[in-house]
Structure 1
Amino acid sequence: MEVFGTSGNNAYVHKQNLTHVARNPNRLLTLNLKLGAPSSGTMPIFQDTNGLAIKFFIQKDLSQEIQAELCETITSLGGRVEAKVPRQGYILVQPSTAEEERLRLCWTSADRPDRHFVPYTYIDACKIAGMLLKQIFTENGTPITMHIHASIANPNARSALSARIMHSGGDPHASAQSARVILADPNTEIFHHLVLQYQGVADKYIESYLWVKKCIEKGAVVYTPLVYKNPGGRRPGEERTQFTDQDEEHLCNWIAAKIPYKETGGRTGNRLYQQLCDLSGDPEYTWVTRHTWQSWRERYKKNSGRLDTIIARIVDQKKPTPGEKGQYGYVRQAEDKPKRARKKKAKAADESSPSDELHNDMNGAPAPGGSLPTEVAADGTHTFPHAAIAAIHELAVASNAQYPVILPAPLTTAPQDPSNTRKSPAEEEMDEEAQEWAIRIGNAPPPTWATKRKATDEGQSNVDKRPRLEQEPMADISLISQEGQVPPATLVAIANLHVIDQGIRDIAKDYRFTVEEVQEFYDKCGEMGRTRSRFQQMREELQAKFTDDFR
């Protein structure tokens, strides 16, 4: 039995009786009339501006409890539940069900734009919002398809956003390809990538997730507007800043003052107009900042025929003299530079060639057959005048003369240094100016100013200097080369004697292998430490394998 009661001016029905009413749709009209709208000071949210109740139809396969609760809420807020689909009103459905698809196919019509399909949670959403949520996300009676991008990663935020879209008439379940609006997080890089990707598609919009809330608050769909971005450049034939008659007058006065006569040239050069713009800090030349120096130059270049006439008129009035101070191209003459007095090099009177010094140090001519020069001591032993040559001799003897040392004979005469050749007084006078800052070209000898001045005093000769102690072998070789005792070919032969290197000889001696074996492995690996460890390991393995018991 139905139980009705009043509390003030508000009517209500018990939930158990609402379940019975939901099972009998024919009695909904009676229920709506008995309940009526609450007579409060404010208009119920489910009534239109004329005070008529908004009609709702509930999907039949919803649970009876949900239907009863919906009936109670709708009627309490001034709405009306219909047993049949209304021509104008709301159809409450459960999304993603077969019945919802059937209802949409049967009752969606362009002739009924005021008939809306909303989820049954729409009633609670309107109750919470305190207003009837408008179906703004529709176009020609169909929902606007939307896609919630994965950049919105929070599942609660995605669910709330989806429900808000459906409550306002949209379809948030479309794919990214078919959706008209893609909602993404604007704080991610993918958002800007999506904007660039779809900016050329006419019916595709990339919006922030906050866009849904803004549209609901405005009560209309407003896409983010497009703004015009200057692509650069200018219109054909149009200049950035228009030249005025005053600009041309200033330009002509400047050219007339700097280059009064066109025959001298320079009016289309860059420097003339760069100098003009350099005067922008001068109060009298503030007008130059209106254009760049390139613009000033192009202005004259493209209108030279007309501007030359104006310049000639200005020149006729002022009548400047060619070469006056301030004209373009004329600069102050440089001061005369005093000539530097150059000292002539004095040659030593008793200058001897490197070959003579080598012969003197070796006490005579070189030994025939490429043998090394020696000196006979008092005890009959042979000594060598240089430590490097003595070391070579010892290495040759230790290697049993398997790799004989072949040293080229010293040169009898040294090549003449062109820098030391005395020139005639006329040539020296001619070269004084031309070669003041001469440079070295290719393999030519260095200029005279770059060579070290030789000592003129015989007592300051390098030969008389005290030799350094504890010098390395390479230092001895360099010393020999500096003194000129050994020809360069001999030094090359000394450097190339890698086959009798002292380190290789030590390895062969320590581990009782031949020099050829050690040298062959060293040439392959190129590391002295690795060579030593290799032959040490080989000797240890041989001793371990071929141990002889002589006891």
Structure 2
Amino acid sequence: MSTEIATTANKIFERNGESVKFFIQQDTGKDFIGWLSARIAEHGGKVVETVPREGYILVDPDSKKGEKLTEKWSSPDKPNRHIVCFTFVRASIMAGRMLDPEEMQGSRVIFKHEGAPVHIFLHPALGGLVSARLAIQIEKAGGSPKQRRFLRRKYLFRTDKYVEGIEWVQDCLDAQTYRHIDALPINMRGMKPGTVCVDFTETDDQNLIQYIGTRVPEPVDELRGCLSLYTQLCRSDEFPWAAQHVAKVWQRYYLRRKHDFDKDISKWVERNPQPLDSKERFRLKKRRRQPRPVVVDADMDDVVIDDDDHDSDDEDPPAIRHCR
């Protein structure tokens, strides 16, 4: 019974028990046409080789061929023939229903990178209704929405991934372009005139290795690179040797030489095992932050995907390669 219900629910491209006809712009490439045809057939539709009197013409509106098809076959005499962007198919599948043609008005491919859909990760904290609305908007504009959990801090300084607010999707749609605006740098005044730069010494290195080895014996990047760890170092009277530098300078010094420091810290910890319940261990205080819930990933090769977290119709389309 459940299988029958699921099968019926998936037939979104049927009307009155008959398959809706689709004509696909022919110069989009065999791989893309094959992929799109399979999605249509899986959900009850039928791909035809000639423009139907009733049904849908799927075009790439930014191509010359797409413009010609729109001019040639748009006719008020055929109110049941609709010309829409090819993203109509995946957007309908995402919505769980066949979208109205009016909902696709003005739609074009915006969220693409090197011909492939941009993966846009929607944080679970957004909630079901907001995520569903954003996912349909993203699909209509050629993107690939994903439901994934992620750490904002992990992606904050990556050059191939971006953390954006939910308003970013609508901003791209309004501008009709996929873009990111880099944050303006602040507090970049540098050293004050007359300030003497104090170099780090080998003694500083050994002190820092012992301090981090005691506070964060395991190589946890989120903790060892945290500014709070070095703020505690500078504020404590227990470490007078740290007073010659401010917390941010200690943090930057560790991060610049992270690879070498981590090796030396591991050796120190082997010689000086730290108890798991030590009160000296550094623990990150959890603070409520304003969520920045959308991550855009232009390259998914190094993203870990949970095995139990799957998106519906998750396969991305091949890149469109217009044939001359």
Instruction: Please say whether Structure 1 and Structure 2 have the same fold, judged by a TM-score greater than 0.5.
Output: no
TM-score normalized by structure 2?
0.35
Larger Rg: 1
Query: Which structure ranks higher in relative contact order (CA pairs < 8 Å, sequence separation ≥ 6)?
Result: 2
